[in-house]
Chain A
Amino acid sequence: MKFLNKIIFFYYREYKLNISGIQDILTNIIFFFISIFIFIFSIGPDKETISQIGVGIVWALLLLSSTLSLRKFYQDDFENGNLLIIHLNGFSFGFIAILKTFSHFLFVQVPFLLSLPIACILLNIANDKLLYLFASFGIGSLTLSCLGSISSSMNLMNQRNFLLGSVIVMIFSVPIIIFSVGIINMEENFNSLINILFGILLIVFAINPWASGLCLKLSLENN
């Protein structure tokens, strides 16, 4: 019960931090929508073309927008010593990685999820595809958060090159984008593709606490 309370109040802490830095979340969303407008203006007024490539645009922009927030994933808690203090409060480094991943999903990815219907209207994506987009993004974004956790924890050991982490996320997110866009364009294969996406999520979710936890421990050791 005591441990459960600690988890609840860890999220209370994350909530307070994210609310106080809500401008960061809003900046991400604004970046996402401005990029959509830029795509629309650069493609031209042809509704059919926009509709055809709309899902691909949404996914590419979601990926780019979520990588913007990766720098903050562990950096602040690492620099002010809170990572160590949280660890001393009974959380293993692997468990901290899991908690932080869900926190990133809740406070960074969910706002994108909620703004998807507006993006669909702007890009002329059919209403019946919205459900598929929600399903694919729900699974895909949690996978991206896991990848983000791994790359951000690796970045703590390599403070000079932040872009390296983003590159790693982008390379590993290629299969997620392929299957996520596939779900929407090949509706008859929905179950098989969603199972593949879910499989990728489970693999990355299993690797995340080990890889991130080890990177967090090493970065604190070498700090």
Chain B
Amino acid sequence: MLIVKDLSVERLNKKIFENISLSLTPGNITILKGKNGAGKTTLLKAILNIIEPSFGSIYWKGKLLKKNLYDFYNNVTYIPDTTSSLKKLTIKDNVNIWKRFFISNINNAQIEKALKTLKLDNYLNKKVGTLSFGETKKLEFLRLIIENKNVWILDEPLSNLDEDSIELVKQTFEDHCAKEGSIIFSSHQNPGIYVTEEMQL
């Protein structure tokens, strides 16, 4: 499905990483591990075609990513290491915007169920800016469910999450993989999430 071959990225004549190869097939979970500044976010951005690699190539469904970019974008959800939900708006508003803007086929009952699972159902009318960092992070996972795409690219999804929330993430990942979805995420460490490939940067 997604193949990264001998990828190297250089910025300001400094090598960030070199000769990275990985493949992401349906049902697979890949973790990118490494210290701060190791190039995890850079690699994710290179996969998303935001950063131009100095060497190597990326393929999506057998074609060069650049030639098949919008099909790739139709199949990918990206969660950045920042909070992408709109802080001035309530959870309800954010959910409505995501549902409409991403033309989601998820129905309201499924969203309510997800909100309940993430323990956010009591804060529907609360502004996102007033939530704790852990709660806003959980809200990001709701976007994954609403967008309902095959490939999830997640930058530090586990940071600031408590043990219960990490258990929820594990369950969400397993459910997604069971539906032939694939995940690539970056993290400093792996708190027991089942992964099919581990890459140290």
Q: Which residues of A contact B (CB under 8 A)?
A: 2, 5-6, 9-10, 12-13, 16-17, 20-21, 79-82, 84-85, 87-90, 217, 220-221
- Give the chain A neighbours of B101 by CB distance below 8 A: 6, 9-10, 12-13, 89
Question: Which of B48, B83, B97 has the most A CB atoms < 10 Å from its CB?
Answer: B97
Q: Is the CB of B73 within 8 A of A84?
A: no
Q: Is the CB of B78 within 8 A of A84?
A: yes
CB distance from A213 to the nearest CB of B (A): 13
Among A5, A12, A221, contact of B103 (Cβ-Cβ < 8 Å)? A5
Q: Is the CB of B78 within 8 A of A85?
A: yes
- Give the chain B neighbours of A20 by CB distance below 8 A: 88-89, 93
Chain B's interface: helix, strand, loop or mixed, by majority?
loop
Chain A's interface: helix, strand, loop or mixed, by majority?
helix
CB distance from B89 to the nearest CB of A (A): 6
Whole-angstrom CA separation of A221 from B50 in the bound complex:
6
Among B76, B77, B82, B88, contact of A79 (Cβ-Cβ < 8 Å)? B82
Whole-angstrom CA separation of A90 from B45 in the bound complex:
16
Closest to B73 in A: A88
B64 at the binding interface (Cβ < 8 Å): no
The 6 closest A-B pairs by CB, nearest first: A81-B80, A9-B100, A20-B88, A9-B101, A81-B84, A81-B82
CB distance from A92 to the nearest CB of B (A): 9
Among B73, B83, B89, B103, contact of A17 (Cβ-Cβ < 8 Å)? B89
Whole-angstrom CA separation of A85 from B52 in the bound complex:
18
CB-defined interface of B62-103 with A at 8 Å, one 1/0 digit per residue? 000000001001101110111111111100010001001111
Listed by A's residue number, 14 A-B pairs whose Cβ atoms lie within 8 Å are: A5-B100, A9-B103, A10-B101, A13-B97, A16-B89, A17-B88, A79-B82, A80-B82, A82-B86, A88-B48, A88-B77, A90-B70, A90-B74, A221-B52
Whole-angstrom CA separation of A89 from B82 in the bound complex:
18
B51 at the binding interface (Cβ < 8 Å): yes
Whole-angstrom CA separation of A156 from B97 in the bound complex:
25
Contact A82/B93 with A5-B103, A89-B101, A221-B52 known, Cβ cut-off 8 Å:
no
Whole-angstrom CA separation of A100 from B28 in the bound complex:
37
CB distance from A155 to the nearest CB of B (A): 19
Q: Is the CB of B97 within 8 A of A84?
A: no
Closest to A20 in B: B88
Q: Is the CB of B93 within 8 A of A16?
A: yes
Q: Is the CB of B83 within 8 A of A80?
A: yes
Closest to B77 in A: A88
Question: Which of A9, A20, A80, A88 has the most B CB atoms < 10 Å from its CB?
Answer: A88
Whole-angstrom CA separation of A84 from B73 in the bound complex:
11
Whole-angstrom CA separation of A81 from B137 in the bound complex:
13
CB distance from B116 to the nearest CB of A (A): 24
Contact A84/B50 with A9-B97, A16-B93 known, Cβ cut-off 8 Å:
yes
Q: Is the CB of A82 within 8 A of B88?
A: no
- Give the chain B neighbours of A84 by CB distance below 8 A: 48, 50, 78, 80
Whole-angstrom CA separation of A84 from B49 in the bound complex:
11
Closest to B51 in A: A221
CB-defined interface of B103-143 with A at 8 Å, one 1/0 digit per residue? 10000000000000000000000000000000000000000
